[in-house]
A and B are shown apart, each in its own frame.
Chain A
Amino acid sequence: MSKTQTRYSEVFMNGIWKQNPIFKQVLGTCPTLAVTVSVINGFAMGVATAFVLLFSSMIISLIKKLIPNQVRIAAYIVVIATFVTIVDIVMKAQFPDLSKALGPFIPLIIVNCIILGRAEAFASKNTVGRSILDALGMGAGFTLALLVIGGIREVLGSSKFLGTVILPATVEPMLIFILPAGAFLTLGILFGTANHFEEKKKAKEIQRAIDNQMGAKNVNVTAAETTETAEKEKEA
């Protein structure tokens, strides 16, 4: 019982950090770079992608045994395209402003490699429950990454957060951050930061392993030293 639980949570957490679609797998960078001029755009894009990912992963893992191997990619794309079209239509009807801001990037979710990638690498090989968890994790990871990038770009580029001005007028907004170049800069710096922490963590683990080994020896050394000094004192 406890074993399956940890494994399920691991499936979910993988998408958030260990295999984060943006920072670790570097998938779907086109919408990432293009739409993250503001927090709300990034959030809407993330949620739209997560929705498509969730439903297509679920359906694909349900029908995986019915699809002949030769046409599986075509079948996956049709399933994905259906959900993307639904999202596009619903957004146009319910959130016309957001739909306008995201423009052609909603229909382009169809070719977002995160979705086909998860369908091919995970949903077509795992049970429905695990596929749903994986899709939720990946979707959440993608949304989080877009929120962070959108937040940085909106604050630095237009001195706003969620549309309200937060920096004083004396701080000149750095326009480059809402231009395409700023997207590359932000993403690059975030990649670097993520890798830095990962490496630090790895280095720490290695250090700990070495310490454990050395620690065992050290105890012996100190023990030997104390006996030595004790003997010397006796002699004196």
Chain B
Amino acid sequence: MRTVIHMLATLLIIGAISGGLIAGIFDVAHPKIVQNAQRETERAIFVVHPEGKKQEKISGVAQEIYKVSDDKGNTVGYAMPCKGNGFQGVITLMMGVSADLKKITGISVIDQTETPGLGSEILNESFSGQFKTVNPEPEIFGKKGAKETDNDIVTITGATISSKAVVRIVNEGMAAMRKLKKEGKI
């Protein structure tokens, strides 16, 4: 009986001390973690909207979407974080579109766990830069080798699945934004 009490008491004390320690450190670090995530989002918004100066979250819609305006207050477009399955895990990217939703101003991959050296090339400007010149209407296609129409994105050699995943995510994002526009919410 005495050993049992001793065992319980030891574990209880150790657990309480470590719990308290972690809670204390978490309290200090948490605001910084939130701030980091926010800064990351903000940075991504201005990457996809280089001429944007201010961003404002649009309220009243289910999706997380930001309205971006320049220093004179004119709306330059929208930015929306989109998610989708890649080859190994979820790809999160920020996509920027012009105010009339006719043009993609840029995409920036925020989070990905694709194969290093192959799928992770979706981060490369030579791939993601293609979205700036592509015609997103009615739909973007991923093509191997060479571009045939202006709706095409050339996929990365050895990473067709990752490339097509990005194309799909962008298409879905465009569709969601068009729907919001139609409903007059943005």
Contact = CB atoms under 8 A, between A and B. Distances in A.
Interface of A: 37, 63, 66-68, 70-71, 74-75, 78-79, 81-82, 85-86, 89-90, 92-94, 96, 100, 103, 157-158, 173, 175, 178-179
B65 to A, nearest CB: 23
A204 B10 CA distance: 52
B182 interface: no
A89 B29 contact: yes
A157 B118 CA distance: 11
Contact of B22 (A66, A74, A82): A82
B-side binding surface: helix, strand, loop or mixed?
helix
Interface in B1-31: 3, 6-7, 10-11, 14-15, 18, 21-22, 25-26, 29-30
B33 A179 contact: no
Contacts of A92: 29, 33, 36
B81 to A, nearest CB: 16
Contact of A78 (B15, B113, B116): B15
> Which secondary structure dominates where chain A touches chain B?
helix
A158 B6 CA distance: 55
Given A157-B117, A178-B117, A179-B115, A75 B11 contact: yes
Interface in B110-157: 111, 113, 115-118
B29 A78 contact: no
Contacts of A89: 22, 25-26, 29, 33
A179 B14 contact: no
A77 to B, nearest CB: 10
B8 to A, nearest CB: 9
Given A70-B3, A71-B10, A178 B116 contact: yes
Given A68-B10, A178-B116, A178-B117, A93 B29 contact: yes
